[in-house]
């Protein structure tokens, strides 16, 4: 019998095989070999790329090194998006491994946030968790936690410790027995086709008539173009963690099982590959 717990594990241990290559214009002392790595889907680029940085810095002069940043097919990769989201959104239809270009120069100030240290990632991560809990439980759960619990969440993510993370995170996934779900579902919907970075609205897991809202209900409400494209021809994929859940899937279940560690459902709407 498959258990819903297995979903949590599968989500957590999702990996994207990645090939890092140094940008051609970077000045090196000798040739930079590409660097291959399995990136955790649920983590953040700048959190898991110490090895990449070290690898390329070995072939570079100290004065040519400034803040590292990544780019895929011309798009700078936002480190504050989870890796799995970046991949689903930008590269899910291309062949593996994922080819990421590493830059040490010309930081794209208008596209990316600076990431001077892991503390910044932690701050970003925790603010997402708090925002999610504000939506789910009016912040009651996260505020009742102790500082060490917050730390454990972060350390669990940083050290890829599933048990450590979920020992705390499960509390964020609870809801009162008399309710049928969270107050609102923390979600963000991303589309490559629009300028808007993402869609985020208040949406309840349960309709007023007590019926559970599904993924389809959510899309119909907040992003109708995703399910019924106006141009008729082009269909979209609705992707979370590299899979396409059926539109009948209850949103509450998705939120409990397919949320990223920041407790948000990051949903990518991408055009159906034409082939």
Partner 1 sequence: MSLDRLPHHLTARKWPGRSWDYILAGMERSAAAMPSSELWAVDLFGRVFTLSTAGRHWELCRDAQLEFKRVSAAAPCCWGIACDNQVYVHVGASDVPIRCREEAYENQRWNPVGGFCETLLPSDRWPWSDVSGLQHRPLDGVALPSPHWEWESDWYVDENFGGEPTEKGGWTYAIDFPATYTRDKKWNSCVRRRRWTRYRRYKSRDTWAKIPSEDDPQRLPDPFSDISVGGWEITDEPVGRLSVWAVSLQGKVWYREDVSHPNPEGSSWSLVDTPGEAVQISCGPHDLLWVSLWEGQALVREGINRNNPKGSSWSVVEPPTSENGILHVSAGVGVVWAVTKDRKVWFRRGVNSHNPCGTSWIEMVGEMMMVNVGLNDQVWGIGWADRALYFRHGVTQSELSGKTWKAIVAGRECDGSHAGSLSSLLSAGCFFGDEVRGGGESRVPSDSEAKRPGPDPEHDVEVAGPASAPAELPWTNIDLKEPKKGPSHAAADFPEATNLSSLALLPLGLEEPDSTNCHALWAWVSGGGCAVEAHTTLKWFTVHSGLSASMQMLSLSITPAQTAAWRKQIFQQLTERTKRELENFRHYEQAVEQVGSARVHFFQHTFIEHLLHASPESVWVKTGALQWWCDWKPHKWVDVRVALEQFTGHDGVRDSILFIYYVVHEEKKYIHVFLNEVTALVPVLIEAKHSFAVYTPERTRQRWPVRLAAATEQDMSDWLALLDLSCCESRRVHGRPSPQAIWSVTCKGDIFVSEPSPDLEAPEHWLPCDQMFWRQMGGHLRVVEANSRGVVWGIGYDHTAWVYTGGYGGGCFQGLASSTSNIYTQSDVKCVYIYENQRWNPVTGYTSRGLPTDRYMWSDATGLQECTKASTKPPSLQWAWVSDWFVDFSVPGGTDQEGWQYASDFPALYHGHKTMKDFVRRRCWTRKCKLVTSGPWLEVAPIALGDVSIIPESPGAHGSGPGIALWAVSDKGDVLCRLGVSELNPAGSSWLHVGTDQPFASVSIGGCYQVWAVARDGSAFYRGSVSPSKPAGDCWYLIPSPPKQRLKQVSVGHTAVFALDENGNLWYRQGVTPSYPQGTSWEHVSNNVRHVSVGPLDQVWVIANKVQGSHSLSRGTVCRRTGVQPLEPKGQGWDYGIGGGWDHLSVRASATRGPRSSSQETAGKWRREQGLPSGRSQVAGAPQETPNPACC
List of residues contacting partner 1 (CB under 8 A)? 1-8, 10-11, 13-18, 36-40, 43, 48-49, 51, 96-97, 155, 158-161, 163-164, 166-167, 170, 178, 208-212, 241-246, 248-250, 253, 257-258
Write down the least CB distance from residue 256 to partner 1, Å: 9
Of 74 and 210, nearer to partner 1 (C-beta) is: 210
Residue nearer to partner 1 on the CB measure, 83 or 132: 83
Q: Is 257 left (phi over 0), alpha (psi -120 to 50) or beta?
A: alpha
Pairing of strands 15-22, 69-72: unpaired
Shortest distance, position 258 Cβ to partner 1, whole Å: 8
> In terms of Cα–Cα distance, which of 30, 129, 19, 141 is closest to 72?
19
Q: How many CB atoms are closer than 10 A to CB 64?
A: 13
Query: Which one-letter DSSP state was computed for residue 140?
Result: H
Q: How far is the CB of 33 from partner 1 (least distance, A)?
A: 13
- Cα separation, 103 vs 204, in Å, equals 41
Nearer Cβ to partner 1 (33/64): 33
Stated as kind and residue range, the H or E segment containing 171 is: helix 162-172
Cβ-based nearer residue to partner 1, 37 or 219: 37
Give the nearest distance from C-beta 170 to partner 1 in angstroms: 4
C-beta closer to partner 1: residue 27 or 243: 243
Q: In the structure encoding, which two tokens stand for residue 218, read together? A: 């959510």
C-beta of 24 vs 159, nearer to partner 1: 159
Contact 74, 111 (CB under 8 A): no
Least separation in angstroms between residue 125's CB and partner 1 is: 15
Torsion of CA 76, 80, 85, 87, to 10 degrees: 30
Minimum Å gap between C-beta 32 and partner 1 is 17
């Amino acid at each position: 019998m498959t258990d819903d717990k297995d979903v949590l594990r599968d989500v957590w241990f999702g990996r994207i095989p990645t090939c890092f290559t140094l940008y051609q214009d970077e000045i090196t002392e000798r040739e930079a070999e590409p660097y291959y790595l399995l990136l955790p889907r649920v983590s953040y680029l700048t959190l898991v790329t110490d090895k990449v940085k070290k690898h390329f810095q070995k072939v570079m002069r100290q004065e040519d090194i400034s803040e590292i940043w990544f780019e895929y097919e011309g798009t700078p990769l936002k480190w504050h998006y989870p890796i799995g989201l970046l991949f689903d959104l930008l590269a899910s239809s291309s062949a593996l491994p994922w080819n990421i270009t590493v830059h040490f120069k010309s930081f794209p100030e208008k596209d990316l946030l600076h990431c001077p240290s892991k503390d910044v990632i932690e701050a970003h991560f925790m603010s997402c968790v708090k925002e999610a809990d504000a939506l789910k439980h009016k912040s009651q759960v996260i505020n009742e936690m102790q500082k060490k619990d917050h730390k454990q969440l972060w350390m669990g993510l940083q050290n890829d410790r599933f048990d450590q993370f979920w020992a705390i995170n499960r509390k964020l996934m609870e809801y009162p027995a008399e309710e049928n779900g969270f107050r609102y579902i923390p979600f963000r919907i991303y589309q490559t086709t629009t300028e808007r970075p993402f869609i985020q609205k208040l949406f309840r897991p349960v309709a007023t008539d007590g019926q559970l809202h599904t993924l389809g209900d959510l899309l119909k409400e907040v992003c109708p173009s995703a399910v019924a494209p106006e141009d008729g021809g082009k269909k979209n994929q609705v992707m979370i963690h590299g899979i396409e859940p059926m539109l009948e899937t209850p949103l509450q279940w998705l939120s409990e099982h397919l949320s990223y560690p920041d407790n948000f459902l990051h949903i990518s709407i991408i055009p159906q590959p034409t082939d």
